[in-house]
Structure 1
Amino acid sequence: MRTLHRSGTIKKSNASARLVITTIMGMVFGYFIGVSFPFVPLTKINLPSESLSSLDVALNDENHSFGLGRTPLIPKIYVPTNPRGAEALPEGIVVSESDFYPRRLWGEPSEDLKRKPKCLVTFTVGLDQKSNIDAAVKKFPEDFQIMLFHYDGRTSEWDQFEWSQRAIHVSVRKQTKWWYAKRFLHPDVVAPYDYIFIWDEDLGTEHFNAEKYIQLVKKHRLDISQPGLEPNGGLTWEMTKRRGDREVHKDTREKPGWCSDPRLPPCAAFVEIMAPVFSREAWRCVWHMIQNDLVHGWGLDFALRRCVEPAHEKIGVVDSQWVVHQVVPSLGNQGQSENGKAPWEGVRARCRNEWAIFQDRLANADKSYIADH
């Protein structure tokens, strides 16, 4: 009896061992079979349509919370009219323009903006002129977006003004407004704005009304303009001097020999770089003419006429909305004293040098164009 019992137990153990070994071998064999064949996506398997739909829904439901799902096939796209670098995108997804409208971090994007300012007003400022800038900003209603470029690096101190909370602040130390304009006012960024003001910080605006100014600019079809200047000291150009008997003027008489043609600068087609106002279309041209390394903008005022046609009709001075030039040399003090010279002397020397460089570049560009065409 013992022998029979022991023999039955051994046979049962051997059968169990064979079953385990067979199972393991089957798993190993199945693994090698699986890795020997390429992956076949579900869409390649000829399943009944109703089964595939059910499977697709199940997969989508499972992966929905992770933003997953079947990756769509991307067609081969090339749109040569798209902006450079975006030719591989379908036209409907390309957004080539932007703006300075602040947006919320919550809610529906379509409900973010309660208003869309149609004019952009920029001042390049230091904290010493905060009272003057406060007075100037209050001359612009809410339909004008305010943007401050801080050349002294001090921004938080402006929070004392209620309007500062809505303004756009950009701070890079010891830079000029044309340096800022070249880098932060690209035409595709300011495209939503009808007019762009690029103003100095030392302008008295007691007699200036922004809304009336824009009305006059539109009425007289000025693409490049500035308010008339009531000098608080010397006046460089007769063209920009305010005339009290008219709304706008587009030409003037200068000193003998200063104007080779009465329709050319500085007798016409001319405004200064102190307080220019550009239409969207004119700014697109002017921005491209600003040289990246020439930061003071000297000489630019004589070349603005290249961006509008006819220039002697599209460039002018708005007399009935005028400002006072206070002649505060604040930016000059941001220079550096060298060789015993005051900081402002080095800045002024750089201005004159840049003017000469700009004139040379413009003349050479004209010569190259004529030679090539």
Structure 2
Amino acid sequence: MGIVVGYFIGVSFPSVSLARVILPSSIYSPFDVTMREDQAKALERSFPENLGSGNTPATPKIYVPTNPRGAESLPPGIVVLETDLYLRRLWGEPSEDLKKKPKYLVTFTVGWGQRGNIDASIKKFSGDFQILLFHYDGLVTEDQYEWSKKAIHISVMKQTKWWYAKRFLHPDIVAAYEYIFIWDEDLGVEHFNADKCIQLVKKHDLEISQPGLEPNNGLTWQMTKRRGDKKFTSRDTEEKPGWCSDPHLPPCAAFVEIMAPVFSRAAWRCVWHMIQNNLVHGRGLDFALRRGVKPAHEKIGVVDSQWIIHQVAPSLGSQGQSENGEAPWKGVRDRCRSEWALFQDRLANADKAYFKHQIG
């Protein structure tokens, strides 16, 4: 019986050449047929570099050592070094895709529980801002808010904003934007206007900044505290005795916190390279931001007249994992503390290695 079945199977199907299979045109959609026709026409074109015979262009022999690594065989005119996050159409002329190009980028790292607060925050940013949301709980607000349909959503479970920033905000990806806001989700923005904030940042030539913080129980640093006697910006302050070895150094100057920083394009290019791949909380980064601009005590400041409120929502702690019977947030807190020490050690060791090499 097995032989008979095998025989009938063998004779029931004609032999097929593995080198080429021609399928009936009826299974192609009109789109597929059009694309195939366009490809055929493209092969008939005569390219300047067509050094071979027939319709197949020969590969030109090019080597440009100044091109980016891996792209040395490309002519410089086709190399695109930077990109952007502009949303484009699938139809029409590429040059007509964008009626208006956003000048600035604002990112929030968000969870579903803070969607109401994020809605209020995003409404403070005009059409000059591209909105990018990093979702740490996998829940994306696509239909509830009109602005969400135009925003970019990236969802990866249980990650922090600095993990996202390192992987999705490479300086060559966000090079189109003059300023990049990298903000937390728990900020009260009743007294904040993004356009006015940008105007002051430009006027006072700040490369790294943040809005002033309304004093509350969560306030830690005097530098970022909103000062009612200041109409515009602050660049220095007085801290507790012994906290500042130099009035031009953090936390008395050249300092903003990591909850709501605003970076110029040039400053972000430096800061991005300081973010460590495996240190996800960004602790200690605020004290090192001054390395990205010079003179730091003049280029880093707080915009007092546009202030925010840190609501201290413990949302990130809920993304931890309970170990040894302890609450999930305790593990997150402990990791924050250990990362601060690790970052300080790495930076100090990198400095030592550099100067040792210079002397040697």
Distance 1:64 1:351 in 2: 55
Which residue number in structure 1 is paired with residue 40 of structure 2?
65
Q: What amino acid sits opposite 1:286 in the alignment?
A: V
Question: Would the alpha carbon gap of residues 332 and 170 (structure 1) be closer, same or farther in structure 2, given more than 3 Å must change?
Answer: same
| Partners of 1:130 and 1:158 within 8 A in 2 | no
Q: What amino acid sits opposite 1:199 in the alignment?
A: W
Distance 2:42 2:267 in 1: 44
User: How much does 1:66 deviate?
Assistant: 4.6
Matched-pair identity in %: 77
Distance 1:87 1:65 in 2: 29
Which residue number in structure 1 is paired with residue 32 of structure 2?
none
TM-score scaled by length of structure 1: 0.81
Which residue number in structure 2 is paired with residue 227 of structure 1?
211
TM-score scaled by length of structure 2: 0.84
Which residue number in structure 2 is paired with residue 193 of structure 1?
177
User: How much does 1:88 deviate?
Assistant: 1.4
Is 1:138 aligned to 2:123, yes or no?
yes
**C-alpha distance after superposition, 1:315-350 (max 9, x if no partner):** 000000000010101011110111121111100100
Distance 1:365 1:283 in 2: 20
User: How much does 1:63 deviate?
Assistant: 9.7
Question: Would the alpha carbon gap of residues 77 and 277 (structure 1) be closer, same or farther in structure 2, given more than 3 Å must change?
Answer: same
Which residue number in structure 1 is paired with residue 302 of structure 2?
317
Is 1:272 aligned to 2:257, yes or no?
yes
Which residue number in structure 1 is paired with residue 224 of structure 2?
240
Q: Mind listing any 5+ residue stretches in structure 1 that lack a counterpart?
A: 1-61
| Partners of 1:232 and 1:327 within 8 A in 2 | no
SS in structure 1 at match of 2:214: strand
Which residue number in structure 1 is paired with residue 168 of structure 2?
184
| Partners of 1:233 and 1:326 within 8 A in 2 | no
Distance 2:91 2:61 in 1: 35
| Partners of 1:231 and 1:326 within 8 A in 2 | no
More helix per residue: 1 or 2? 1
Alignment size in residue pairs? 311
User: How much does 1:159 deviate?
Assistant: 1.7
User: How much does 1:74 deviate?
Assistant: 3.5
Which entry has the higher C-alpha Rg, 1 or 2? 1
Question: Would the alpha carbon gap of residues 250 and 64 (structure 1) be closer, same or farther in structure 2, given more than 3 Å must change?
Answer: closer
| Partners of 2:218 and 2:310 within 8 A in 1 | no
Moved more, 232-241 or 119-128: 232-241
User: How much does 1:77 deviate?
Assistant: 1.8
Moved more, 82-91 or 213-222: 82-91
Which residue number in structure 1 is paired with residue 293 of structure 2?
308
The match for 1:368 among 331, 353, 358 is: 353
**C-alpha distance after superposition, 1:168-213 (max 9, x if no partner):** 0000010000000000000000000000000000000000011110
Is 1:106 aligned to 2:94, yes or no?
no
Is 1:124 aligned to 2:109, yes or no?
yes
Question: Would the alpha carbon gap of residues 80 and 220 (structure 1) be closer, same or farther in structure 2, given more than 3 Å must change?
Answer: same
User: How much does 1:114 deviate?
Assistant: 0.9
| Partners of 2:135 and 2:156 within 8 A in 1 | yes
Q: Mind listing any 5+ residue stretches in structure 2 that lack a counterpart?
A: 1-36, 45-54
1:23-172 aligned at under 5 Å gives the runs 65-69=40-44, 70-155=55-140, 157-172=141-156
Distance 1:116 1:236 in 2: 38
